[in-house]
Amino acid sequence: MNNLGTLKFGPAGYPAEAKGNLERVFQILSEADLDALEYAAVYGLRMSEEKAISIGKAAKKTNITMSMHAPYYISLASKREDVRERSRERLIKALKFAPLMGVKRIVFHAGGYSGRSPIEAYRLILDSLQEVWNTAGHHGNGAFLAPEIAGKLKAFGSVEEIIRICEDVEGCIPTIDWAHMYARRQGEIEGKEDYAKILGIFEDRLGEKFTKNMHFHASGIIYTKAGEKAHRPLDGKWGPDLLPLAEIIREGGYKPTFISETPDSLRGALYIKYLFEELEKAKQ
């Protein structure tokens, strides 16, 4: 267990070193003193209930906090009703599997605007998420749907859009992907003031729904005028700089879960944790 209170750190997806061996996955995380894992169902939640239960038991045994990234194929504003229906079904399945896996956060992208106006897209996405939650929210056993800040400017997922969805749908909390935020804002996140302003917006609008369920993604990123292009390591060559964010988190007493989405996500998680450990040492 780390020495940073209820801050949690972990990778997105299984560590490559585990080679898919479930027991080894959780052994590696424990040995690295990490305590979170985001299961990558990005190409579909393709497993039996028995496998899901095995994951949940392994996570509980090693005290690993579980989240899940739902499939990339979700497109809740698609012009095709069958695509929207399959998108809803993927989220419903994720909610049903969540308690088996010990998952408390189901991260997802709502999709692009599909040629619609942002307002029209919002209404469709809102209707779909309310339907999903009314249909299957109770199956999640406390799991939240966690729509994510989008890195591409033409994708649904601005700060305002994510906050509004979380205001309007009981079972939604935000996932702040800081790299996506950085790309969407074209690099305009630099110091503590910028991070504090962003966190303040979420806290003012969502209150404890946000502060008690903070779920962050982090990585380096390269971007174009259209937004996100590719994720990169957290080694100082690419923004955003996470040290000012770490300082704000520590000073504000926030307790987020940080999920690394770097190319080597295990190494990225260790880097994020290292930043906080160094801040702790400096304050002693």
- Tokens representing 154 are 């033409």
* Close Cβ partners of 247 (under 8 Å, ≥ 6 residues apart): 192, 279
DSSP string, 227-262: EEEEEE-SSSSSSPP-HHHHHHHHHHT--PEEEE-S
CA angle 13, 17, 19 (to 5 degrees): 75
Residue 255 belongs to some domain of the structure: yes
Residue 227 belongs to some domain of the structure: yes
Strand pairing of 36-40 and 215-218? unpaired
Closest listed residue to residue 126, CA positions, set 167, 68, 155, 79: 167
Query: What is the per-residue pLDDT across 81-135, written as a single tens digit (0 to 9) for each?
Result: 999 999 999 999 999 999 999 999 999 999 999 999 999 999 999 999 999 999 9
Residue 248 belongs to some domain of the structure: yes
- Tally of domains in the chain: 1
| For residues 266-274, average pLDDT | 97
Confidence of residue 20 (pLDDT cuts 50, 70, 90): confident
Residue 222 belongs to some domain of the structure: yes
Residue 1 belongs to some domain of the structure: no
Q: Which helix (H) or strand (E) holds 81?
A: helix 81-101
Query: What is the per-residue pLDDT across 182-229, written as a single tens digit (0 to 9) for each?
Result: 999 999 998 999 999 999 999 999 999 999 999 999 999 999 999 999
Tell me the CATH number at 233: 3.20.20.150
Residue 85 belongs to some domain of the structure: yes
Average pLDDT, the chain: 95
The domain in which residue 206 lies consists of: 8-283
User: Residue 1's pLDDT is what?
Assistant: 46
User: Residue 212's pLDDT is what?
Assistant: 96
Distances (CA, A) of 106 to 9, 68, 242: 17, 5, 24
Closest listed residue to residue 217, CA positions, set 40, 30, 29, 17: 40
User: Residue 271's pLDDT is what?
Assistant: 96
User: Residue 125's pLDDT is what?
Assistant: 98
- Contact indicator for 277, 235 with CB cutoff of 8 Å: no
pTM confidence score: 0.96
